[in-house]
Amino acid sequence: MLSYVLRRFFYMIIVLLVVSITAFVIIQLPPGDFLTSYIMKLKASGQIVDEAEIAALRKQYDLDLPIHLQYCQWMWKMLHGNFGKSFEWNRPVKDLILERLPLTVTVSLFTLIFTYLLAIPIGIYSATHQYSVGDYAFTVIGFIGLATPRFLLALILMFVSYRYFGLSIGGLFSPQYQLAPWSGAKFIDLLKHLPIPVVVIGMAGTAGLIRVMRGCLLDELQKQYVITARAKGVSERRLLFKYPVRVAINPIISTIGWTLPRIISGQTIVAIVLGLPTIGPLLFRALVNQDMYLAGSSIMILTFLTVIGTFISDILLVWLDPRIRYEKQAR
């Protein structure tokens, strides 16, 4: 087990490394760096920028190094908690991200919990009541959730909630709480604002997960060991939860690995529509503006979150499924 965890951890590091390279390439991709345009601007306003000055500026932003060393420099600084400075905000990237990280994690976690809390029971119901009215209803609702573009759903739900429930639209707080320090009331206010983003972000994931759960469970229900258990005289309910649900939940847990990127990716769009103070919109803006350090760090942080999530789900899976546990041990 330990060796497996270590190995998995090693993979995680590799994935993170590749991500960091990708992030670096992504932010380098659009032509020109900000310094070039800065110098252009200086020159245009009548300044004869001498070469020493340019060199100093280049050095200051590590732009004088060859590209691979720039990357190393970036990584090295990041490992030391220095994420650079955002050009647009003129603030340290770390501050900007830290300010939004807690809510990002909160929204993602709530979405994840919502997704699983809803999907697993419905999946079980649908599988055990295959082709019943309820199964069809959930299927159709789930499919509609899967089929609706998230931004559309967000917009409509936001409007509906505003018009019919009087909730302050957009954002995660009512105006009177936005500026207030944390308190019980503020937390409750946050909880009131969470449902719409959580539903919108989680809708597609939930619908997908219901299908997976239903499918897996249907498969498992056909399996011989279920009949064995039934032939042993185990009651239906106990049988359901002890065997097929247990087995069917395994792939579900391993899907955290792809549910999480979905959530975080979906969060970007939804957060822009709903005006959530999360990392998503920050990243979007940064990418549009080529605010390279902010963009790169945001991608890194978001991917880091997903990779960590995947790592945890992998460990969980091994812990839950003896077959994999032994297989991994044997290897």
Partner 1 sequence: MKNRQDKITAEEKFYIATQWQLMWRKFKKHKLAIFGAIVLFIFYFVAIFCGFFSTQDIYKRHTKYIHAPPQRIHFFDEEGFHLRPFVYGLKRKINPVTLRRTYSEDRTKKYPIYFFIRGDKYKLWNLFPTDLHLLGVKEPGTIFLFGTDKLGRDLFSRNLHAARISLSIGLVGVALSFILGCALGGISGYFGGTADMVIQRVIEFLMSIPTIPLWMALSAALPPHWPPIKVYFGITIILSIVGWCGLARVVRGKLLELRQEDFVMAAKIIGATDGRIITRHLLPSFLSYLIVNITLAIPGMILGETSLSFLGLGLQPPVVSWGVLLRDAQNVRTVVLHPWLLIPGLFVIVTVLAFNFLGDGLRDAADPYK
Partner 2 sequence: MRSKLKSEDDPLLEIKDLRTYFYLDEGILKAVDGVSFKIDRGKTLGIVGESGCGKSVTAQSILRIVPSPGKTEGEILFHQENEKNVDLAELDPFGKEIRNIRGNQITMIFQEPMTSLSPLHTIGNQIMETILLHRKLNKTEARGLAKEMLDKVGIPDPSHRIDDYPHQLSGGLRQRAMIAMALSCNPSLLIADEPTTALDVTVQAQILELMKDLQKEFGMSIIYITHNLGVIAEISDEVAVMYLGKVVEYGSVEDIFHNPKHPYTSRLLKSIPRVGRKVRARLDSIKGTVPLPLGLPRGCTFYPRCPQAKEGICNIDAPPLIELENGHKVECVLYR
Partner 3 sequence: MGLPIKFNKLMGLIGAILLLGATPAAARYNEAPMLRTKVAAGKLPPVEERLPEEPRVIEPLEEIGRYGGTLNTADLSPFNAIEGRTLRHHGLFRYSGDCTEIIPDIAKDYEVSEDKKTLTIYLRKGLKWSDGVPFTVDDILFWWEDYMLNKELSPIVKKFWKPGGGLAKFEKVDNYILQIHFAVPYPVVTLLGHSWNSAQTKLYDPKHYLKKYHIKYNPEANELAKKAGYTRWWELFKAVRNPGYDLWNLDLDLPTLDAYVIKKVASTYQIWERNPYFWQVDTAGNQLPYIDRIVDRLYENQEILNMKVTAGEIDIVSFNLLLGDYPLFKENEKKGNYHAFMWKSAIGAAVAFAPNQNHPDPLLRKIMQDVRFRQALSLAINREEINEVVCFGLATPRQATVLPTCSYYKEEWAKAYATYDPQRAHELLDKMGLKWDKGRKYRLRPDGKPLNILIEYYAGEGPKTAICELVKEYWEEIGIKITLKPEDRSYYAKRKDAGVLDIGLWHLDCVTELYGYGQPLSGRLLSFDGGWGWAKQWELWFNTEGKDGEEPPEEMKEFYKDMEDWASARTKEEYTRLAQKIFDFHAKQLIYIGTVGMSPWPAVVKNNLKNVPTQGYWSWDSNFWIAFEPAQFFFTP
Binding positions for partner 1, rule: CB under 8 A: 11, 14-15, 18-19, 22, 26, 29-30, 136, 139-140, 143-144, 146-152, 155-156, 159, 211, 215, 218, 222, 257-258, 261-262, 264-266, 268-269, 273, 280, 283-284, 287, 298-299, 302-303, 306-307, 310
Residue 148 binding target from partner 2, partner 1, partner 3, none, CB below 5 to 8 Å by type: partner 1
Map tokens 């944390």 to a residue.
182
Closest distance to partner 3 from the beta carbon of 300 (Å): 18
326 binds partner 2 (CB under 8 A): yes
* Residues numbered 282-301 forming contacts with partner 3, rule: CB under 8 A: 282, 285, 288-290
Q: Where are the alpha helices (DSSP H) in the chain?
A: 2-28, 34-44, 51-60, 67-79, 93-128, 133-147, 150-165, 175-178, 184-193, 195-222, 224-231, 236-242, 244-254, 256-274, 279-289, 292-320, 322-330
Closest distance to partner 3 from the beta carbon of 77 (Å): 11
Residue 234 binding target from partner 3, partner 2, partner 1, none, CB below 5 to 8 Å by type: partner 2
Q: What is the CA radius of gyration of the chain?
A: 25
Number of residues engaging partner 2 in binding (CB under 8 A): 22
Give the interface segment with partner 3, choosing from 34-42, 195-203, 248-256, 311-319 (CB under 8 A). 34-42
Closest distance to partner 3 from the beta carbon of 192 (Å): 15
Task: Reduce the DSSP state of residue 92 to 3 states and report it.
Answer: strand
305 binds partner 2 (CB under 8 A): no
Is the CB of residue 54 less than 8 Å from the CB of residue 39? yes
Give the interface segment with partner 3, choosing from 32-40, 71-79, 225-233, 245-253 (CB under 8 A). 32-40
225 binds partner 2 (CB under 8 A): yes
175 binds partner 3 (CB under 8 A): yes
Q: How far is Cα 249 from Cα 313, in angstroms, rounded to an integer?
A: 12
45 binds partner 2 (CB under 8 A): no
Instruction: Label residue 67 exposed, middle or buried (CB < 10 Å: 0-12, 13-18, 19+).
Output: exposed
As given in the structure block, the two tokens for residue 83 are: 């994420």
232 binds partner 2 (CB under 8 A): yes
| Closer of 28 and 139 to partner 2 (Cβ) | 139
Is the CB of residue 89 less than 8 Å from the CB of residue 294? yes
As given in the structure block, the two tokens for residue 145 are: 């959730």
Q: How far is Cα 110 from Cα 131, in angstroms, rounded to an integer?
A: 31
As given in the structure block, the two tokens for residue 187 are: 């937390």
| Type of residue found at 58 | R
Q: Which of 230, 241, 288, 308 binds partner 2 (CB under 8 A)?
A: 230
How many Cβ atoms are within 10 Å of 60's Cβ, its own excluded? 10
DSSP-derived letter for residue 331 is -
As given in the structure block, the two tokens for residue 177 are: 């709480």
42 binds partner 3 (CB under 8 A): yes
Q: List interacting residues with partner 3 (CB under 8 A).
A: 32, 34, 36-37, 40-49, 53, 60, 87-91, 96, 99-100, 155, 158-159, 162, 168-171, 175, 178-179, 271-277, 281-282, 285, 288-290
